Amino acid sequence: MYSRDEIKALTDKVLNMAKADAVEVSFDGGERSATRWANSSITVNLVQYDQQITVNVRHGQKQGTATTRELDDEGLKTAVDEANDAAQKARDNPNLPALVKGFDVCLMPFAMNAATRYINPTKTLEYMAAGKPIVSSAVPDVVHNFTPIVAVAHSHDEFVDAVASALQRPDPVRIEEGIARAESAGWEAIVASMRNHIVHTLARS
């Protein structure tokens, strides 16, 4: 099985390889064992580790996904290329804003496991831009970067209670903070920030 640091290294590789508007990487791993008996004796005893990485990329309103069990550089690059190719061939979804407009609460009920430990859910900022209350399970990236705008639940009961609270008493302050946060993460804002860094660095040199 891969260690936490090894999973993070694989995730970082994929993020560096993928050139897209948004990238989401999931690692899924498990262990399977099998034992064969014959004449009251063990004849075969096998342990198999299953690991795979799923890459989801977004170009505008197009998304593409690919999965690989080949976790060397070539296998990761192939998965990234397949995800990009699937996104390029996908149809635009112009109805997405209209669909989100109909939401009362935006949910991110991710399972808490090795596959979600290092994900950076692209939908977080999309939900914020939509001006909706958001409830998420305790994904580390969301906990560290998006609270208290996003209501984070650490258990099933907390999640249900948070959704009920958001339905009954949506917090307008959090919603406005979310909209501002999404605007600050747009490409125009990012380019302006990078330009300022470059200008300040050149001015000091």
Question: pLDDT of the chain along its 205 residues, tens only?
Answer: 678 888 888 888 888 888 887 888 888 776 655 566 666 665 556 655 678 889 988 887 788 899 998 889 999 999 999 998 988 887 766 666 777 878 999 999 998 888 788 888 888 988 998 899 999 999 999 999 999 999 999 999 999 999 999 999 999 999 999 999 988 887 777 788 888 889 888 888 7
- Distance, in Å, from the CA atom of 15 to the CA atom of 30, rounded to the nearest integer, reads 23
Considering the domain architecture, whether residues 73 and 144 belong to the same structural domain is answered as: no
pTM exceeding the 0.85 threshold for the entire prediction: no
- Distance, in Å, from the CA atom of 167 to the CA atom of 94, rounded to the nearest integer, reads 26
Query: Of all residues in the chain, what percent are helix, strand and coil, respectively (each to 5)?
Result: 45, 25, 30
| 101 neighbors 37 (Cβ within 8 angstroms) | no
Question: DSSP label at 121?
Answer: -
Considering the domain architecture, whether residues 136 and 187 belong to the same structural domain is answered as: yes
Considering only the C-alpha atoms of the chain, give the largest distance between any 2 of them, rounded to a whole number of Å.
81
Considering the domain architecture, whether residues 100 and 193 belong to the same structural domain is answered as: yes
Considering the domain architecture, whether residues 141 and 82 belong to the same structural domain is answered as: no
Considering the domain architecture, whether residues 58 and 103 belong to the same structural domain is answered as: no
- Distance, in Å, from the CA atom of 12 to the CA atom of 198, rounded to the nearest integer, reads 25
Considering the domain architecture, whether residues 18 and 73 belong to the same structural domain is answered as: yes
Q: To 5 degrees, how large is the angle CA 125–CA 24–CA 10? A: 140
Residue 118 corresponds to which tokens in the numbers above? 């290092």
Strand partners, 34: 46
CATH code where residue 33 lies: 3.30.2290.10
Considering the domain architecture, whether residues 129 and 89 belong to the same structural domain is answered as: no
Domain count, the chain: 2
| 149 neighbors 125 (Cβ within 8 angstroms) | no
Identify the pLDDT of residue 1: 66
Q: What's the one-letter identity of residue 18?
A: A
Considering the domain architecture, whether residues 56 and 137 belong to the same structural domain is answered as: no
Q: Which of 183, 121, 115 is nearest to 152 (CA)?
A: 121
Residue numbers of the domain that contains 26? 1-93
Identify the pLDDT of residue 49: 62
Considering the domain architecture, whether residues 66 and 103 belong to the same structural domain is answered as: no
Backbone phi, psi, residue 102, to 5°:
-80, -5
H/E stretch holding 120: none
The residue among 60, 93, 126 that closes a domain is: 93
CATH code where residue 186 lies: 3.40.50.2000
H/E stretch holding 100: helix 96-101
Residue 79 corresponds to which tokens in the numbers above? 């998965």
